[in-house]
Amino acid sequence: MVPAFDKLNLPLSVARELRSAHAGETGAVWIYKGILAVSRDDDVRAFAAEHLETEQKHLAFFERWMPKRWHTRLTPLWKLAGWLLGALPVLFGRRAVFATIRAVETFVDDHYLAQIELLEGNRHWQPLREQLQAFRQDEIDHRDDAAARIMEHDGMIARAWARVVETGSAAGVMASRRL
Ligand SMILES: [Fe+2]
Ligand SMILES: [Fe+2]
């Protein structure tokens, strides 16, 4: 069991990072909801439904564990942004969906790794660290699942789009740390 948020005496910088992780999991849930709202492709829907289930577990942890006063005030924005990030690529076909998810989950993998490193060395933080490690492994599986479904090599547009997704995600994290 991860000890209560208030018992861990996390430095403000770490708490802010975790707030952005909560924001990110909110966005992740809504990305997959966005895909499911628009897609009529059975494979894409099965892919999104499976990932959604995992993201809901991740989000439920943060909702339970992180006191409300710590939650980002930008939640409505992340829901909308996530939904659009999931729904829009559907209009461009399944490859666009998988390329988007691969870019998002690559970003999330790095983001969790940075937090896991921040939590190193303090034994009181170890259960939280292990929790984040488990989440990170799920994100890596999501990334690999998406990558395996992209058959062809990336074109220039796919690469440019992946950069847009990464830049947008980084901006979201930056905003969620403070707001
Ligand atoms: Fe997640
Ligand atoms: Fe994920």
Residue 161 Cα to ligand 1 middle (Å): 21
Residue 81 Cα to ligand 2 middle (Å): 16
Counted domains in the chain: 1
Q: What is the pLDDT of residue 166?
A: 87
Cα 86 to Cα 64: distance, rounded to the nearest angstrom: 25
> Is pLDDT at 28 greater than 70 in this prediction?
yes
Size of the chain, expressed as the number of residues it contains: 179
Residue 13 Cα to ligand 1 middle (Å): 21
> Is pLDDT at 68 greater than 80 in this prediction?
yes
Q: Is residue 3 part of a domain?
A: no
Ligand at shortest distance from the CA of 102:
2
Q: Residue 91: is it exposed, middle or buried by C-beta count within 10 angstroms (0-12/13-18/19+)?
A: exposed
> Could you tell me what percent of the chain has a pLDDT over 70?
98
Q: Measured at the alpha carbon of residue 16, what is the angle toward residues 12 and 21, in degrees to the nearest 5? A: 150
Residue 116 amino acid letter: I
pLDDT category at 51 given cuts 50, 70, 90 is very high
Q: Is residue 108 part of a domain?
A: yes
Ligand at shortest distance from the CA of 112:
1
> Is pLDDT at 154 greater than 70 in this prediction?
no
Residue span of the structural domain in which 61 resides: 10-178
Residue 25 Cα to ligand 1 middle (Å): 5
Predicted TM-score (pTM) of this structure: 0.90
Ligand at shortest distance from the CA of 22:
1
Cα 55 to Cα 105: distance, rounded to the nearest angstrom: 11
Q: Which element (helix H / strand E) includes 131?
A: helix 126-149
Residue 115's CATH number: 1.20.1260
Q: What is the pLDDT of the chain when averaged over all its residues?
A: 94
Q: Is residue 4 part of a domain?
A: no
Q: Is residue 1 part of a domain?
A: no
Q: What is the pLDDT of residue 86?
A: 96
> Is pLDDT at 169 greater than 70 in this prediction?
yes
- φ, ψ of residue 150 to 5 degrees: the values are -90, 110
Ligand at shortest distance from the CA of 23:
1
> Is pLDDT at 145 greater than 70 in this prediction?
yes
> Is pLDDT at 152 greater than 70 in this prediction?
no
pLDDT category at 153 given cuts 50, 70, 90 is low
Q: What is the pLDDT of residue 157?
A: 74
